[in-house]
Structure 1
Amino acid sequence: MIDECLVAEFRIDGDDCPLARATTRVPVTIEANAPQLRADGNVLLHFSGPADDRLSAVLDEDESIRYLHVTHTDGGYTYRCLAKHPCVVHELVDVGFLVESMEYSNGGATMRGAVVGNEVLRGVMEKAAQTVGIQLQRVYPLRTDDESAIGRAWDLTPAQEESLHVAYEMGYFDLPRTITAADVAEELGISKSAFLERLRRAQRSLFGVLFG
């Protein structure tokens, strides 16, 4: 039995993915579930973004996207569609990378997931070196304490859970507040707007669970 599971985070730049292309034209952050590759080569995409009609228009114009469906919510839009070709992330999935979440911004993507053991991690890194613009940002052992279930219990993505945890530890929710959103964003290594977007979506998920 292998008892070591590692969490790895990669940054992808240069991938010809419709979501990456969309964020080069519209300055938004897109949070996506792991893309699902179908037997016919098409990819099922399920993702969300802010309530910005420019994003919907850009995606609708993209010839590589079919059957775009948009659901309007109080805090933003949720999208489902088919993409005509697989993204580079599937090459990592084929060698053992288990994608948990993806975040697109500024024409690239940050993806977070797990690998089982160092041998699989080496295989993923070798495959990443053969693809376009993939860099390992960090890797660390998967937590085994009770905190690992927080995201699942409250319907949070790993990125949202991390943002809430770091913000809380830094005192962002203290009164009076002495830590700014920019301070937390810098600690996370993301933009202020990306942190605030994660925070808003995490709050929506938490309130959704609390109030049904």
Structure 2
Amino acid sequence: MIEECLVVEFAVSGDRCPLAEATATTGLTVDAEPPQRRRDGNTLLQFSGPADSGLAAVLDDDDRIRYLHVARTNDRQNFRCLSREPCVVHELIDVGFLVDSIQYVDGDERYTGAVVGRDVLQGVLEAAGDTIGVTLQRMYPLGDEDDQAVAHRWDISPAQEAALKTAYEMGYFEIPKAVAASEVAAELDIGKSAFLERLRRGQRGVFGQLFG
């Protein structure tokens, strides 16, 4: 049994993925679940973005996208579709990368996940090195306190969790607020609107599990 598990984050640029190109066109941030590759060569994509943002129209005009379905939930739109374009992340998945979440930001991508053991990490890094535009951003050991049971994990993305945690630690939730939203956003190195969006989505995910 291998006891060591490492959390890793990859930054991706220059990918021809429809979602990457759509966010480059619209300037949006899109949160996505790990893509599911099908035997027929198509990839199932599930993701969400701001409502009434023009994202649906851009994807609908992309010939690589099929069976696009859009459902609105409050201020967000949830998307499901098939893509004919292979996803770069599958090259890392094939050698042992356990992808947890993907975020598309203005044409670039960030993969967050884990690898089990140094040997698997080496294979993933070699695969990343052979893939144009993939670089390792962060890597750290997954501790026992971070590895919650699957049934008890919050239904929020790592980016939303970081927004909630940073806001809490900086005193954003205190009365009166110890810091402004712009200060928390600067700490996270994102824009104020992106921080507030992640905060609202994270709160909705946590409250939904607490009270739903």
Amino acid at match of 1:154: W
- Matched with 1:73 is 73
Say if 2:18 and 2:85, in contact at 8 Å, map to a contact too.
no
- Matched with 1:193 is 193
Deviations 1:96-137 (A, max 9, x none): 101000010110111100000122112111111111111111
- Matched with 2:154 is 154
Instruction: Tell me, in whole angstroms, the C-alpha distance in 2 between the residues paired with 1:6 and 1:188.
Output: 22
Displacement of 1:192 in angstroms is: 2.7
Summarize the Cα distance change of 1:161–1:95 in structure 2 as closer, same or farther, 3 Å threshold. same
Amino acid at match of 2:95: V
Greater mean alpha carbon deviation, residues 63-72 or residues 136-145:
136-145
- Secondary structure (helix, strand or coil) at the match of 1:3 reads coil
Say if 1:151 and 1:158, in contact at 8 Å, map to a contact too.
no
Structure 1 gap segments, 5+ residues each: none
Displacement of 1:147 in angstroms is: 7.1
Say if 2:8 and 2:140, in contact at 8 Å, map to a contact too.
yes
Summarize the Cα distance change of 1:172–1:29 in structure 2 as closer, same or farther, 3 Å threshold. same
Instruction: Tell me, in whole angstroms, the C-alpha distance in 1 between the residues paired with 2:39 and 2:22.
Output: 25
Say if 1:95 and 1:120, in contact at 8 Å, map to a contact too.
yes
Q: How does 1:168-187 map to 2 (within 5 A)?
A: 168-187=168-187
Instruction: Tell me, in whole angstroms, the C-alpha distance in 1 between the residues paired with 2:185 and 2:151.
Output: 20
Displacement of 1:171 in angstroms is: 1.4
Deviations 1:153-202 (A, max 9, x none): 43112221222112211212112213222322233233333222211111
2:205 corresponds to 1:205: yes
What TM-score do you get using the length of structure 1 for normalisation? 0.93
- List, as ranges, runs of 4+ consecutive aligned residues in structure 1 with deviation greater than 4 Å: 149-152
Instruction: Tell me, in whole angstroms, the C-alpha distance in 1 between the residues paired with 2:73 and 2:169.
Output: 30
Displacement of 1:152 in angstroms is: 4.5
Instruction: Tell me, in whole angstroms, the C-alpha distance in 1 between the residues paired with 2:154 and 2:41.
Output: 33
Amino acid at match of 2:166: V
Instruction: Tell me, in whole angstroms, the C-alpha distance in 2 between the residues paired with 1:193 and 1:120.
Output: 37
Instruction: Tell me, in whole angstroms, the C-alpha distance in 2 between the residues paired with 1:26 and 1:189.
Output: 20
2:111 corresponds to 1:111: yes
Displacement of 1:53 in angstroms is: 4.1
- Matched with 2:129 is 129
Displacement of 1:146 in angstroms is: 6.4
- Secondary structure (helix, strand or coil) at the match of 2:80 reads strand
2:64 corresponds to 1:64: yes
- Secondary structure (helix, strand or coil) at the match of 2:48 reads strand
Structure 2 gap segments, 5+ residues each: none
Report percent identity of matched pairs: 58
Deviations 1:12-69 (A, max 9, x none): 0000000000011112110000001111111000001111241110011111100000
- Matched with 1:87 is 87
